[in-house]
Structures are given as structure tokens and as C-alpha cells.
Amino acid sequence: MTHEQTTELAVTARIQEYVSTGPAELFVERAVDTERTPTAGATQVLVDTTDRHQTIDGFGASFTDASAYLVDRVLPEDARERAMTELFCPARGIGLSVVRNPMGSSDYSRTVYSYDDRPEGTTDPELEHFSIDHDLESILPLTRWALELNPRLQVFASPWSAPGWMKTTGSMVGGELLPELYPTYAQYFVRFVQAWAERGVPITAVSPQNEPLYVPEHYPGMGMTALEQIDFVREHLAPAFAAAGLTTKIMGYDHNWDRLDYAFDLLDEAADAFDGIAWHWYDGRAVSQSRVGRDYPDKEIHFFEGSGGSWVPAFEPAFSYLMGNGIDILRHGSRSMILWNLALDENNGPTIPGFGDSTCRGLLRVDQGERTYELTLDYWGLAHFSRFIRPGAVRVGSSEAGPVRSVAARNEDGSVVVVLLNDGDEPVEVETVVDASPGSDPVGRVVSSLGPRAAATLVFSPAAR
């Protein structure tokens, strides 16, 4: 069934509720009393399934070099199989359906590497030494395994830096791409996409550069202005993909919400060369997604990176920060929500040597000494979305009031999922009504109690006929 078809929810729809009240109680299924009457002060959330928005591709995180090493080389076989199942299996896990992998090393890598490293002072303009051998160790096999567990998995990719010999610094750290090597770098992307596809993993989308407005001093990065990105993509990357017969999409920007001017520059000048815009959450607000989306409704919006961890502002409790941002990301048009590392160790690493203290958190916390793992609050927070809002779902209208945040989606099987967050410091009672379109009778209704900073996911499934 496509999202253009309709399947009415019966009044006797089966309703499930999953609640998280914080680290002490994460993702607990709770019995639903469908006869419960709301109190006079209850907050009402109205879900209108006729008010349709973007299609959802899915939720996920990244197989960084660090994450792939921990899952593939540190965890023993039984733990590795259990971890992959808990991450990617739709039936026995949380069904992650998107990964966004670095093209070469990032800050969360054990070494600095690209797909064409050359000795200092030498170059390779014909890419004769191009190789994805590093990915063949763990990153690609794990991604292919994830695809087997979830056949609807999509793979995105972003470079932190071009090979050093292509840059002004001669190093993957710092600098910019040499203009005369734009054609060579475009072919570098083509070779990467082809190499992964030949090994059974198609690349759905790439971005030209991760965080182009931030050039770190101690790990791979590369500056790229909006005008430079326009030139590279319009004149070189997009034509190279077309010439090679590749359908891989190109997502521009790939940086924070605070610089929507960069996104507008790309689309104002070269809309035909870009399939959409990718965002991060480390600065600014998610409303930037909607502002660009209103002017360019035919372009995709994706959320490519957001990490949990101790860096999160102290006034933002970690769990509600994740849930609130997730709701905002979807309400503002994104087709995806991708966190950062799938796994980090007990020291929030491994990281590039010299990186310093890591403040990020993975979905899995792997103890390298014990060779065990635990599921973090990021895993359980993402579960509120990914386990129930499946690929191909369509976001539908849902109201918000007071401290109660919401997002809703209708799956291809006709089920309706509503994610709620009490973003306040006091308990609230919430009456959720589905379907609340004008002139329609409600076909599903439930009253929930949510504690401070607590979240709930409600699943309204069609009754058996």
C-alpha cells in the first residue's frame, strides 16, 4: 500500500504505548486504558491524517571507523550479532534504516586516511592508487550486514576531507580543495560510489563536504564556501555522476541550522545540481529547515548529524534534548534523523590521536576491557521514532500545546504513530485523538500521563477485519 492510499483506523484500533521517563526508566511498554476519561486540565493533541507532509526515509547513525572497529573487532561474535540485531532488525531491534558513513577518516577514527593516500610531495591525478581497502576491513561488511537485517536501509556518505595531495595544505588536516583538482575529486566520488555498489551496498546520497564552515586544527576537515561548493557540484560532481550513470543524490551544505544563508546560496544559484540540503543540530534551530523547504519544496531535507553526550548544555536534560530535537527535525520537514557514532567505548572513543577529551556518546557503549556493550539513552530515545515510524511513512498533522510536543506519522500499513514529549518540569495528562480532521469522527483516542521531561510513543494499529 502506498501513502496515497488510505486505510481507515477502526474505532476499536489496537493501541500500544511506550514510555520513557529518563535514564532510570527507558522505553517501557505500558498498558493502555481506552476507557479513561481525561481530567478538565488535560492537554489535547489532535492528529489529522489528511494533513500530509514529507515521506520518511528513516532513522540511524554512523559507522565511523571507531564504531565499526568496536562492533566488529572488539565485541565477540555472539555480542556482535546481538548488537547488530538490536540496532537494525525491524522485528527484534529498533530497525534503524539509514546510516551516514564518513568517506575516509573523521574525528572518530583511529588513524588519518583517505581512499588515495600518497607519500608527501607526490600526487595521483588519474586516481591510479584509489582503494577502499580500509572500508573492506569492517565498515563495508557491517553496513552490508545491516542491509541484510533491514533491506530498506539507505546509505549516505560524507567526506571530512579530500586526500591531502588535493589540498592547499598538502594534508587532510586544514586547508581547502585545489580548484585545478575539482575534476579529479569528482571522479574520486564516482569511484567511491562504484566501489561500494560493486560490493553490494548502493550509496543513496552523498554530500560534498561535512561541516564546510568549520576547519579543525587537529583532525581531518576542509573549508568550502558556498560559491566553491556550487562550482564543484554544478560544474564537476553532478556532471560526473551523470556521465557515469549514477543516480546517487547530492545533498548540499551538511552543517548547522544557524547558517541557512549557505543553503539558500546553493539552491538560489544551482538548484538543478542539488537534490536537497543536509543539516546538523550543534547550533541554530530546526526552523531553518522549514524556511528553506518553503522556498524549495521539491528539494529533500535531511538531518545528517547530531550527537548526544556531555557537551549538551547543562540546562537541557539529555533525554528530552534528544527527543525534542527529534520532534523538531521531523516537524520541520526532514526525511531522516541520523545521530552520530553507532558505538563508542568507555572513554567515548577511539578518536584521532591528539583529539583530546571526547564529549560525544554513541548508541552503544562498548567496554573494550570486558568486551561487552550497553545500550545508551540515545539508543532508547531513537527507538521512540525508529521502531515504529517505518520507511515510507508520511508525517501527518499533529497539534502541540503548552509543554507537550508531538509529531505523528502514518505508516504504509495504515498504522498511526504519535511521539509525545512533556518538555516541562511538571507532570501532564495528555489526550491524544486520531483522526481529528474537520468533519471526521475520532477513530482512536487515548489518555496518557507523562512525567517531567518524559516521552511516549503511541501506536494506533488498524483493527483486524
Domain count, the chain: 2
Pick from 427, 316, 419, 444: which is nearest to 18 by CA?
Answer: 419
What angle (nearest 5°) sits at the alpha carbon of residue 232, between those of residues 120 and 66? 55
Do 288 and 413 belong to one domain? no
Query: Dihedral of CA 264/265/268/270: which sign?
Result: negative
Structure confidence at residue 408 (pLDDT): 98
Rounded alpha-carbon distances, angstroms, from residue 423 to 401, 451, 453, 454: 11, 9, 5, 7
Q: Per-10-residue mean pLDDT for the chain, 465 residues long?
A: 35 73 76 87 94 98 98 98 98 97 98 97 97 98 98 98 98 98 98 98 98 96 98 98 98 98 98 98 97 98 95 75 96 98 97 92 97 95 96 98 97 95 95 79 83 93 63
- Could you tell me if 109 and 152 lie in one domain? yes
Cell 527507538 belongs to 383
The domain of 44 spans 14-55+394-461
Whether residue 373 sits in one domain with residue 443: no
Residues 159 and 254 in one domain: yes
Query: Are 156 and 184 in the same domain?
Result: yes
| Domain boundary residue, one of 367, 386, 405 | 386
DSSP 368: T
pLDDT of amino acid 6? 34
**The pTM of the whole model exceeds 0.85:** yes
Answer yes or no: do 295 and 368 share one domain.
Answer: yes
Query: Is 6 part of a structural domain of the chain?
Result: no
Residue at a domain's end among 326, 360, 386: 386
DSSP classification of residue 278: E
**Nine cell digits for residue 357:** 577529551
Looking at the structure, do residues 68 and 197 belong to the same domain, yes or no?
yes
Considering 334, 355, 386, which residue would you say is the last residue of a domain? 386
Per-residue confidence (pLDDT) for residue 314, from 0 to 100: 58
Radius of gyration, alpha carbons of the chain: 22
Residue 428 lies in a domain: yes
Residue-level pLDDT at 284: 97
Torsion of CA 310, 316, 318, 324, to 10 degrees: -140
Same-domain check for residues 336 and 366: yes
